[in-house]
Amino acid sequence: MIIGVPKEIKNNENRVAVTPAGVTEFRRYGHTVYVQASAGQGSGFSDHEYIEAGAQLLDTIGEIYDIAEMIVKVKEPIASEYPLIKENQLLFTYFHFASSEELTHAMIERKAVCLAYETVERADRSLPLLVPMSEVAGRMAIQEGAKYLEKPMGGRGILLGGVAGVKPADVLVLGGGIVGTEAAKMAAGLGAHVTIMDISLPRLRYLEDIMPANVDTVMSNEYNIRRHIQHSDIIIGGVLIPGAKAPSLITRDMLKLMRPGTVMVDVAIDQGGCFETSHATTHQDPTYVVDDVVHYCVANMPGAVPYTSTLALTNSTLPYALQLANLGWQLACARSEELLKGLNIVNGKIVYQGVSDAFGLPYVPVQEVLDSSSSINK
Ligand SMILES: NC(=O)c1ccc[n+]([C@@H]2O[C@H](COP(=O)([O-])OP(=O)(O)OC[C@H]3O[C@@H](n4cnc5c(N)ncnc54)[C@H](O)[C@@H]3O)[C@@H](O)[C@H]2O)c1
């Protein structure tokens, strides 16, 4: 198969969808890989490394879209890319269709095959291509929280781990999923006293088993949250109710219970945030203060560490991209339930219920599209 890797052009996006190691793997199976010049620069990969791995470089994004049967990307295409996309071209990337009607209509019109990272789903309902970014954001949340806890940054002026004779900081983690677990591990490793709250008792039992002694687990409810925020130095928001807006676990009136300089990191901001006073910020201007409480609400936290994020993402996406290249999307999706769940729009038809529901557009069962497409290709 001919694979194309364009340079990401979305504002401040430095990740790349295929690394030189990925190119080597594609080449091993006999595929041809075209990479746009400087596509890997933001993540620390030079054009020379791609050429050494067996890729062919093309100067413009137009040439990449023109030649490739499968485009592998990181972020959804933006408006200037829409006209470049061809009928039947396979696009494997994050789309988040339900948040953009414009993108949905554009992809329907282009009649491409859109396989979305975020809806590739395992039998246990986990989302393997979302997990790596939650791991990055969870770990980063503590790094950022610790930084803004410093006095010159607006925080209370507390060292996370304390020192001999001085108590460490208190970290409260709301949500004990991927983000929460990674945040708790990092904070505990730095010597802080950590409390994880979740509404799932089985999850709390699991965390109680695997976490070190300086991590406590507590049932998440309003009473417990009100009590704990009064002595927390950093509060991490990492809750998720799949497909819904995050619940406001800390309301505006609760801020006055906190000590001035407390830092709140709302990782769940991409789902609307789990603090009432949260609004999305950027890496250029990541924080703001409400009632003396520092809010950090960057919606694309992994974007600040593109080298780590690119490797974490591509470690997860490459095995799926190889299946698609080796078998073609029809056979790969027919054989893999995980990949089948990733299909969102196929040749102008919406085949993912959530996307059709979001905009009241017609839905076609994925199996129908797969069957008709396979018979055409026989
Ligand atoms: N800002 C960013 O850059 C960034 C990056 C990655 C992920 N995220 C977001 O972080 C959030 C968490 O992601 P995740 O992968 O950890 O999800 P996850 O599904 O692994 O974990 C979510 C946890 O929240 C718990 N929960 C639900 N309601 C709760 C409540 N009322 N109180 C306490 N816990 C509750 C669930 O039981 C679950 O354990 C998501 O919104 C995700 O989109 C943001």
236 or 243: which leads in pLDDT: 236
Whether residue 157 is predicted with pLDDT greater than 60 in this model: the reply is: yes
Between helices 131-148 and 306-335, what is the axis angle to 10°? Answer: 160
> How much is the pLDDT for 112?
97
Give 152-208 as a DSSP string: GGTS----TT-BTTB---EEEEE--SHHHHHHHHHHHHTT-EEEEEES-HHHHHHHH
Between helices 366-377 and 306-335, what is the axis angle to 10°? Answer: 70
59 is catalytic: no
The closest of 311, 327, 374, 321 to 346, measured between CA atoms, is 374
36 or 270: which leads in pLDDT: 36
> How much is the pLDDT for 376?
56
142 or 370: which leads in pLDDT: 142
Whether residue 71 is predicted with pLDDT greater than 80 in this model: the reply is: yes
- Residue 96 has a CB neighbour count (10 Å cut-off) of 16
Global pTM reads 0.89
244 or 250: which leads in pLDDT: 250
Measure the CA–CA gap between 158 and 193, rounded to whole angstroms: 13
Measure the CA–CA gap between 349 and 369, rounded to whole angstroms: 8
CATH of domain 2-119+306-377: 3.40.50.720
Measure the CA–CA gap between 277 and 250, rounded to whole angstroms: 8
> How much is the pLDDT for 245?
76
Of the listed ranges 16-30, 239-253, 307-321, the one predicted with least confidence = 239-253
Q: What is the per-residue pLDDT across 315-325, written as a single tens digit (0 to 9) for each?
A: 999 999 999 99
Q: How confident is the model at residue 375 (pLDDT cuts 50, 70, 90)?
A: low
Whether residue 373 is predicted with pLDDT greater than 80 in this model: the reply is: no
CA 299 to ligand 1: nearest atom = 1
Whether the Cβ atoms of residue 184 and residue 145 lie closer than 8 Å to each other: no
Cα(134) to ligand 1 centroid in Å equals 8
Angle CA 105–348–78, to nearest 5: 40
> How much is the pLDDT for 11?
76
Q: How confident is the model at residue 272 (pLDDT cuts 50, 70, 90)?
A: confident
Straight-line distance from the first to the last Cα atom of the chain, in angstroms, rounded to the nearest whole number? 18
216 is catalytic: no
Query: Is ligand 1 within 6 A of the CB of residue 217?
Result: no
Cα(182) to ligand 1 centroid in Å equals 11
Active-site pick, 170, 233, 266, 270: 270
Measure the CA–CA gap between 346 and 327, rounded to whole angstroms: 17
CA 238 to ligand 1: nearest atom = 12
Cα(332) to ligand 1 centroid in Å equals 30
- How much of the chain exceeds pLDDT 90, in percent? 89
Whether residue 259 is predicted with pLDDT greater than 90 in this model: the reply is: yes
Under DSSP, the state recorded for 275 is: B
Q: What is the per-residue pLDDT across 333-361, written as a single tens digit (0 to 9) for each?
A: 999 999 999 999 999 999 999 899 889 99
Cα(48) to ligand 1 centroid in Å equals 39
Query: Is ligand 1 within 6 A of the CB of residue 268?
Result: yes
Under DSSP, the state recorded for 85 is: -
The closest of 140, 152, 149 to 169, measured between CA atoms, is 149
Q: What is the per-residue pLDDT across 85-141, written as a single tens digit (0 to 9) for each?
A: 999 999 999 998 887 899 999 999 999 999 999 999 999 989 999 999 999 999 999
- What lies within 8 Å, CB to CB, of 185 at 6+ separation is 139, 211
Whether the Cβ atoms of residue 147 and residue 153 lie closer than 8 Å to each other: yes
Between helices 178-189 and 131-148, what is the axis angle to 10°? Answer: 40
> How much is the pLDDT for 44?
96
Span 9-23, average pLDDT: 92
Query: Is ligand 1 within 6 A of the CB of residue 198?
Result: yes
Q: What tokens does 164 get?
A: 């001999």
At position 60, the amino acid (one-letter code) is: T
Q: How confident is the model at residue 378 (pLDDT cuts 50, 70, 90)?
A: very low
Span 171-190, average pLDDT: 98
Whether residue 17 is predicted with pLDDT greater than 50 in this model: the reply is: yes
- Residue 109 has a CB neighbour count (10 Å cut-off) of 12
Query: Is ligand 1 within 6 A of the CB of residue 301?
Result: yes
Give, in order, the Cα–Cα distances in Å from 182 to each of 151, 189, 203, 301. 25, 11, 14, 14
CATH of domain 131-304: 3.40.50.720
Q: Where in the chain is the domain with CATH 3.40.50.720?
A: 2-119+306-377, 131-304
Mean pLDDT of all residues belonging to the chain: 95
Whether residue 187 is predicted with pLDDT greater than 70 in this model: the reply is: yes
